[in-house]
A and B are shown apart, each in its own frame.
Chain A
Amino acid sequence: MSKVLELKNIEKTFYAGTVNENYVLKNLSLDLEEGDYVTVIGGNGAGKSTMLNIISGALMPDSGNVVIDGEDVTKLKEYQRAKYLGRVFQDPRMGTATHMSISENMAIANRRGSKRGLKWGLPKSEEAEYKELLSILDLGLENRLDTKMGLLSGGQRQAVTLLMATIQRPRLLLLDEHTAALDPKTAAKVLEITDRIVTQNRLTTVMITHNMRDAIKHGNRLVMLDAGRVILDIKGEEKQNLTVDQLLKKFEHLGGESTLSDRMLLG
C-alpha cells in the first residue's frame, strides 16, 4: 500500500511573538494510505481546518513537511498543488464562481492540472459529459447548464462543487465541513452523494465534520484532533463497530483539552 499523504511534524503558530500568539498545530503527523476515507472530528479551534489549509497550501506550516504521493510539496504554492487536490469548503459560496454558469464552472474544473491556453474554454463537446455527471446528483441540474451558479441553493452548489472537485480525479479529496451550512435533510443528501462519488472513484478522502454520527457512519477511518494533535485514530473493524457512546468514553478517557461542543454531541 502506497502512502498518498504524509504530514510530517507539522507546526503552526498564528501571530507568533505577539500577545495573540496561538499555537495551533503541535508536531502533527498523519499518514493516509491509498483509498483511505478519513473522517476528522475535534472541538472548535482544534486545528482541523488549519490542517486542511496546510495540506492545500492555503497556509504554510512553520516547520514540517507535506508529502503527496512521495513528492514533497511543502514549498509548492496553493495553485500548484491544486492538480493533486479536490476541495470543497464549508461556505457554499467559496467553491464556485457565482457569476459564471454551471457549465463554465465545470469546464474550469475540468482543466485543473492542465495548462490553460487560447483554446476555446467551453467546448460544446464537453457538455454531454457535464450533463451526465450532473444527472448523477439527481437534483435536476442537468437541464440547467447555463444557469448562473449564484442562483443555486447552498446544497445544489455543494453538490456541483463536489463534482468539480472530482471531475479530474484528484489524488486526495479534502472536505472541510462541507455540509455544515446546509439544513439537515440537504446535508444528508450531499453526504450521500459524497459517499457515492468517493466509493465509485475510490478516492482517498479527508472529511472534517462536526457531527459525531456522520463521522462514525461515513468513511473507513476516524481521526480525532484535539489542541493540534491527533489523539485518536480508529480504523478497520474497530471503526465499523464504533458507537457515539464509545467515542465519547474514549475522548473522556484521553482527557482531551477542549470540550466537545454541543453541536458535535447532538449531531
Chain B
Amino acid sequence: MINIILGAVSLGLLWAIMTTGVFLTYRVLDYADLSVEGSIVMGAAIVAKLITGGVNPIIATVCAFAGGLAAGVVTGLLNTKLKIPSLLAGILTMIALYSVNIRIMGKANITLLKSETVFTMVETIGLKGNTGVIIVAVVINAAIAAALYWFFGTELGCAVRATGDNRKMARAQGINTDTMKILALALSNGLVALSGALIAQDQSYADVSMGQGAIVIGLASVIIGEVIFYRGNFLNRLISVVLGAVVYRIIIALVIEMGMKPTDLKLFTAITVAICLALPTFQPQIKAKLAKILPQKKEVK
C-alpha cells in the first residue's frame, strides 16, 4: 500500500509540472488551451529521440522544454495573428503535433529501458526508485514555482495577469495583449513538454498517444488543488496546483486499487471535472438546501 501511495505521489509530482502549465493558461490567462495534449507528447518524443541518440538526459530535457515553448508560440500566433478562436487554435496545434511527434520519433513509440535518464543519473548517487523521482520532482516543482512567483511579480508578469483578467483594460493601459497571450501560451506549453519529458524518462518509454486526456487531467488537478488547498496569494495558488496534481494521482491509485478498470479512468476523470466545473452553478441551491437542513446560524461553506 505504501508503495502504491509513493508511486502515485511521484507520478503526481511529475504531472504537477504539466498541471502548472494548464493553470497558467486556464486560470492566469483565462484561455482553454488544448494544444497541451500534443505538447506533452512532444516533450516525451524529443527527450526519447535525443536520449536514444546519445544526448545527455539533462540537455535532452531542456530541449523538450524548448520544443514545448515553440508549440505554444504556434497556438498563440494562430489565435492572435490569424484570429482563430482559442479552442480551435489549440485543437489545430494538437492535431498537427500528432504528426510532428511521430516524425520526431520516427515511429509511434520509443523505449528508454536501456538508456540513461535523469532518474538513472540520480540513482548513481544512491536515490533509487520512487524516492529518487520524488526528490527530483520536488526540486523541479519548487524551482518552477519560485520562478513563476518571481515572474508574475515583475512588470511583464503583471501585464500577463492583467491580460488574463481583463483584455480591454490591459490594452487601455498600453499592454500588447497579443504578445502577452503568446508569452503565456509558450511558457505553459514549455512546462507541459517538460512534464512529458520527465514522465517518459520515469516510465522508460514515449508513446504518441500518451497525451490523450491530458487537458482533463490537468483541469481536474487544478480544480482539486483549488478546492482543497487554495488560500490566499499567488505562491499559495501555485503550490495548491502541485498538491492538486498529487491528490488526483492518489485518488486514481485508490480507485484502481478498489477495482475500477483502468480503461474507465478517463470517464471517471471527466465526470469529476464536470461536477467540479458545475459546482459554482449549483452552489446557491446547495447552500439554500443546506441552510434548511441546518437551521442553526452557522456559516455553510
Whether A111 pairs with B155 at a CB distance below 8 angstroms is: yes
Which of A56, A94, A107, A116 lies in contact with B156, CB distance below 8 A? A116
Residues on A with beta carbons closer than 8 Å to the beta carbon of B165 = 97-100
B residues in contact with A99, CB < 8 Å: 161, 165
Chain A CB count within 10 A is highest, among B153, B158, B170, for B158
CA distance A96 to B166 in the complex (A): 7
Q: Is A108 an interface residue (CB 8 A)?
A: yes
Q: Is A100 touching B171 in the complex (CB atoms < 8 A)?
A: no
Indicate whether A79 sits within 8 Å of B171 (C-beta atoms), given known contacts A97-B165, A100-B161: yes
Q: Which residues of B contact A58 (CB under 8 A)?
A: 168, 171
Q: Is B209 in contact with chain A by the CB < 8 A criterion?
A: no
- Asked, given contacts A116-B156, A118-B156, whether A79 binds B162 with beta carbons under 8 Å apart, the answer is no
B263 at the interface (CB under 8 A from A): no
Q: In the bound complex, do residue B175 and residue A116 qualify as a contact, i.e. CB atoms below 8 Å apart?
A: yes
Q: A236 to B281: give the CA distance in the assembly, Å.
A: 55
| Pair A82/B173 contact, Cβ less than 8 Å | yes
Interface flag for B176 (CB, 8 Å): yes
User: Which one of A12-20, A119-127, A130-138, A204-212 is at the B interface?
Assistant: A119-127
Would A79 and B177 count as touching, CB distance under 8 A?
yes
Query: C-beta contact mask, A59-101 vs B, less than 8 Å → 1, else 0?
Result: 0000000000000000001111011010101000111111110
- Whether B169 pairs with A94 at a CB distance below 8 angstroms is yes
Q: Are A121 and B155 in contact (CB under 8 A)?
A: yes
In the complex, which residue of chain B has the Cβ closest to the Cβ of A150?
A: B165
Q: Which residues of chain A are near B175, meaning CB under 8 Å?
A: 79, 82, 108, 116
* Bound: A104/B164 CA distance, A: 14
Q: Which residues on B sit within 8 Å (CB–CB) of A83?
A: 174
Q: How many residues of A contact B (CB 8 A)?
A: 34
Cβ-defined contact, A100 with B162, below 8 A: yes
B interface residues, how many (CB within 8 angstroms)? 22
Contacting pair B153 A121 (CB below 8 A): yes
Is A193 part of the contact surface with B, judged by Cβ < 8 Å?
no
Question: What 1/0 mask marks residues of chain A from 23 to 58 whose CB sits below 8 Å from any chain B CB?
Answer: 000000000000000000000000000000000101
- Asked whether B161 lies within 8 Å of A97 as measured between CB atoms, the reply is yes
Q: Does A152 contact B (CB under 8 A)?
A: no
Given A96-B166, A120-B153, check contact A79 B176 (CB 8 Å): yes
CB contacts (< 8 Å) of B172 on chain A: these are 56, 78, 82, 85, 87, 95
- Asked whether B166 lies within 8 Å of A117 as measured between CB atoms, the reply is no
Q: Nearest Cβ distance between residue B160 and chain A, in whole angstroms?
A: 10
A-B contacts besides A79-B175, A98-B166, A121-B156, 15 pairs, CB < 8 Å: A58-B168, A78-B172, A79-B177, A83-B174, A94-B166, A97-B166, A108-B158, A108-B159, A108-B162, A111-B174, A116-B155, A116-B175, A117-B155, A121-B154, A121-B155
Q: Which residues of B contact A (CB under 8 A)?
A: 151, 153-159, 161-162, 165-166, 168-177
Q: Name the 5 nearest CB pairs between A and B, nearest first.
A: A82-B174, A97-B165, A121-B158, A116-B155, A121-B155
